[in-house]
Amino acid sequence: MREAFVHTAVLHMIVGADERVPGAAITTALCGDLEHEPPCPVSAHHTASTRNGDTVRLRVLFAAEPADEARVRADIDAALVAGEWLGPDGVVTHWRLLDSSPAEIAGSDAERAERLRRDRKV
């Protein structure tokens, strides 16, 4: 049975770069494509980003089989370490990964975590 997990990352991105793009890179890494029908093949997930100047913080809430947790985290990190993503609009967005680590599920994550765990579209 899938369980919910959280992975966080801190990126350096120039001001003006779209802070949602690393989340698109994560989706592509986990799902194979940005646009796909649910359920996600390996790990249902949701990525939130917040920006403060040139620092972007990502919080990836995902659900996976416990045996797949390390693989999902590695896929997330690989997408972020790449440091760039070519969007469907032809724009390449760049960033630098500063930090990445597991985190605890917050109370505010509970409802979304349950939907992800059940592998529903969120």
Separation of alpha carbons 79 and 87, rounded Å: 14
Mean pLDDT of 3-10: 96
Tell me the C-alpha distance between 58 and 77, whole Å. Answer: 12
Q: Where are the beta strands (DSSP E) in 15-111?
A: 44-52, 55-64, 84-86, 92-94, 96-103
Amino acid at 89: D
Which pTM was predicted? 0.90
Cβ-proximal residues to 33 (8 Å cutoff; 6+ apart), any chain: none
- Domains of the chain, residue spans: 3-117
pLDDT digits (tens, 9 = 90+) for 38-87: 677 778 899 999 999 999 999 999 999 999 999 999 999 999 999 999 98
Encode pLDDT of 92-110 as tens digits: 999 999 999 999 999 888 8
pLDDT in the model for residue 22: 97
- pLDDT score for 121: 44
Distance of alpha carbon 35 from alpha carbon 28, whole angstroms: 9
CATH 3.30.70.260 is held by the domain 3-117: yes
The secondary structure of the chain in percent helix, strand, coil, rounded to multiples of 5, reads 30, 35, 35
Radius of gyration of the chain (CA): 14
